[in-house]
Amino acid sequence: MLCPDYPDNSFCFSPFHEEAKFQSLISAFIIGLFFISSSLYGQDRAYVMYQPNTGETISSILNKFQLPDDQKTLRTFYQLNKLGLQDPIYTHKSYKLPLIQYTYNEKSIRSTINNQDWDLAVNIQNYNLNLYRKGIKSGDYRVDNNLWVPPHLLRSTSKPQVILTSGKKSLEIPLFGPKHKDFPVLSSKLEKKVFYLVAGHGGPDPGAMSRYNSWDICEDEYSYDVTLRLAKLLMQHGAQVEIIVQDPTDGIRSENYLPCDKNEITLKGDPLPLNQLKRLQQRSDIINNLYISHRKSDRSFQEYTAVMIHVDSRNKSKRQDVYFYHLDDSSQGKEKALGLYRTFKEKYKIHRKSGKYRGSVSARNLFMLRSTYPPAVFIELGNLKNPNDQKRILLESNRQALAQWIFEGLISD
């Protein structure tokens, strides 16, 4: 049976088809499953074994197998192989990878791993077939019954669900972190609108970098935090929200300093390419596939908007208010950008002593604006190198205000 995890042949595909054939995913992840436990990393588990090639490091091996090279995964590698942090690895030895090996039962991934999460099964299937296509895995799991399950995919992949609590609608989105994952739905005024949110950079590319006191600050961490806050606001009013770039270890954070990391992946669980063009193409493909799926599956949706959030990098002396780009020939994108501009201009009159707002709206032929199907707007939150602009993103209250104003601007029409 070619596709045992799908109820009908409409979702079946050969190992060389694109992942875009899958039903759209809304992934939300939780923290913690990288910690060693008897249930996940117990000694009774079977692990994929690997003998390093000359010149390979632990990090390069993890990247080769599309596993996160964060501290938790590295620590797991050392513990599985009983190595000290300073111990070298050798080409004549085989090592256990933090990659669980199952014997596929020829029925379904879900019954094989005893987990009925549909999206998780899709992600695991994607992972195995991707490594098979690249020649890293020697066979198709449906043929040799050798199924690999990376623990980072075992984080919760359940879709956002509406829960009735004392007659009041609420949402549970683990991706937002423990303090923010549970929240009420305040209205349904956006229920016919779909938003595709993209935090700039991520994974191997931190984006713009600067220093604040003794801290390294990275663009992707702050744009991501604002993006999550915006997503929550949109969801609270009934919008369908797709968060294209996700970090399974970082929810909405209250700290001023957000440590730089490389944990970001796509909402489908795929790693982000190092090559910039491939990385942009990956996220625009995801948006376009979701857009097509939404239009086919629910014709009641009335509006679609893609939002890209970045922090600029300019000369340290240049202060830059929030500004907006749209595609030149996109009238809807332009209207969205103008709505945002007008909202920020009004907010600055209230919240800035001088009342002056020096942001702007302009047309740009940026890849993410011209390659995505839904109308799109590109937002720059400020100059990461300017001390005054840094305060705009370092303080949690400011990040929340940015998200709130973007939210109001997006729905102002």
Could you read off the pLDDT of 39-77 as tens digits, one per residue? 344 445 799 999 999 999 998 999 899 998 777 788 889
Same domain, 129 and 182: no
Q: What pLDDT was estimated at residue 36?
A: 31
Condensed to tens digits (0 to 9), the pLDDT of residues 80-110 reads: 999 887 788 999 999 999 999 999 999 999 9
Same domain, 202 and 323: yes
Residue 95, amino acid: Y
Averaged in consecutive runs of 10 residues, what is the pLDDT profile of the chain (413 residues)?
32 32 33 34 72 92 87 84 87 94 93 84 89 93 94 60 50 91 90 94 94 92 97 93 93 94 90 93 95 84 94 91 96 96 94 89 96 97 93 94 96 83
The verdict on residue 313 lying in a domain is: yes
Same domain, 200 and 141: no
What is the β-pairing status of strands 95-103 and 376-383?
Answer: unpaired
Q: What pLDDT was estimated at residue 65?
A: 94
Q: What pLDDT was estimated at residue 346?
A: 94
Same domain, 117 and 169: no
Residue 226 and residue 220 in contact, taking contact as beta carbons nearer than 8 Å: no
The verdict on residue 167 lying in a domain is: yes
Residue that is last in its domain, among 112, 136, 154? 154
Same domain, 246 and 113: no
Residue that is last in its domain, among 139, 154, 169? 154
Q: What pLDDT was estimated at residue 155?
A: 57
The verdict on residue 1 lying in a domain is: no
Same domain, 244 and 371: yes
Same domain, 140 and 280: no
Strand partners, 161: 172
pTM above 0.95, yes or no: no
The verdict on residue 3 lying in a domain is: no
**How many domains are contained in the chain?**
2
> How are strands ordered across the β-sheet holding 161-165?
161-165, 168-172, 182-184
Q: What pLDDT was estimated at residue 237?
A: 92
Same domain, 75 and 180: no
Which of 124, 153, 133, 157 lies closest to 26 in space, CA to CA? 157
- Name the burial class of residue 141, with classes exposed (0-12), middle (13-18) and buried (19+) by CB atoms within 10 angstroms of its CB: buried
Residue that is last in its domain, among 91, 125, 154? 154
Same domain, 72 and 177: no
Residue 407 and residue 234 in contact, taking contact as beta carbons nearer than 8 Å: yes
Same domain, 196 and 305: yes
Residue 336 and residue 329 in contact, taking contact as beta carbons nearer than 8 Å: no
- Give the domain extent around 23: 9-154
Same domain, 333 and 213: yes
Same domain, 165 and 140: no
The verdict on residue 137 lying in a domain is: yes
Helices (H), 38-94: 58-64, 71-80
* Residue 247's CATH number: 3.40.630.40
The verdict on residue 4 lying in a domain is: no
Which of 179, 178, 113, 101 lies closest to 146 in space, CA to CA? 101
